[in-house]
């Protein structure tokens, strides 16, 4: 009988240990499950944060590239405009230096042609000079060179150089009354202002 009681107690003790182990195992499983459930949102949150950071970085890179592209495009447009303007100016004023060098020769031709003579040889020489003079004037005109400064024009400091003021009953104030030396312009650029007398 005593032996049987011991056996019963032994079995009960073993059952008790087994139940404790099962409880411990179940508790451990519950703890692990809780830990996993608690960790999952943190992992997801970190992942979302990383994705947001990457997206922001990509957006910044795109903005920087767009700004660089816009600046490059603007610089290229400015370069093309400057090049076009320079080419246009070169074509428009290509004969400026030659025209400026020819103006003193034109002045000398005009002084020589102003001489009056009854001598046939002189008259013949003047006729030949006039032909050359007119050819030079036509060549300059074809390049866009024009005379400026005529009697009766209003004085313009951009076109005229006043060397003297005179009283005149025939003209109003600040009007060109005499041209002492012709002026010339190439298209819209003054090569030499006209030297004039102006009414006071």
Spatial CB neighbours of 185, under 8 Å, sequence gap ≥ 6: 145, 146, 148, 159, 191
Q: Which residue stretches of 93-163 are H helix?
A: 96-113, 120-142
In this predicted structure, which of 32-36, 64-68, 131-135, 144-148 has the lowest mean pLDDT?
32-36
CA distances to 95, 118, 121, 196 from 115, in Å: 30, 10, 13, 22
Q: What rounded mean pLDDT belongs to the chain?
A: 80
Say whether pLDDT at 82 is over 80: yes
Q: How far apart are CA 69 and CA 198, in angstroms?
A: 58
Residue 195 has pLDDT above 90, yes or no: yes
Distance CA 109, CA 114 (A): 9
pLDDT band at 23 (very low <50, low <70, confident <90, very high): low
Residue 169 pLDDT class (50, 70, 90 cuts): confident
Confidence of residue 43 (pLDDT cuts 50, 70, 90): very low
Architecture of domain 93-199: Roll (2.30)
The dihedral built from the CA positions of residue 99, 103, 109 and 114, taken in this order, carries a sign that is: positive
112-156: pLDDT as tens digits: 998 888 888 888 899 999 999 999 999 999 999 999 988 989 999
Q: What's the pLDDT score for residue 139? A: 93
Report the pLDDT averaged over residues 167-171: 81
Q: Is 181's pLDDT higher than 90? A: yes
């Amino acid at each position: 009988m005593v032996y049987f009681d011991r056996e019963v107690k032994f079995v009960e003790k073993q059952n008790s240990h087994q139940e404790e182990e099962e409880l411990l195992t179940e508790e451990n499983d519950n703890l692990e499950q809780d830990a996993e459930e608690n960790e999952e949102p943190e992992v997801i949150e970190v992942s979302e944060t990383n994705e947001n950071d990457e997206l922001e970085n990509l957006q910044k890179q795109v903005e920087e590239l767009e700004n660089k592209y816009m600046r490059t495009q603007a610089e290229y447009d400015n370069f093309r405009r400057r090049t076009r303007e320079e080419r246009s100016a070169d074509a428009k004023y290509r004969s400026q230096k030659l025209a400026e060098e020819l103006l003193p020769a034109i002045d000398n031709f005009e002084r020589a042609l102003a001489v009056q003579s009854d001598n046939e040889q002189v008259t013949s020489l003047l006729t030949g000079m006039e032909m050359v003079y007119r050819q030079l004037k036509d060549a300059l005109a074809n390049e866009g060179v024009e005379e400026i400064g005529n009697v009766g024009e209003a004085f313009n400091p951009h076109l005229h150089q006043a060397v003297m003021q005179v009283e005149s009953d025939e003209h109003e104030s600040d009007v060109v009354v005499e041209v002492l030396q012709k002026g010339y312009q190439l298209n819209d650029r003054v090569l030499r202002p006209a030297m004039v007398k102006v009414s006071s």
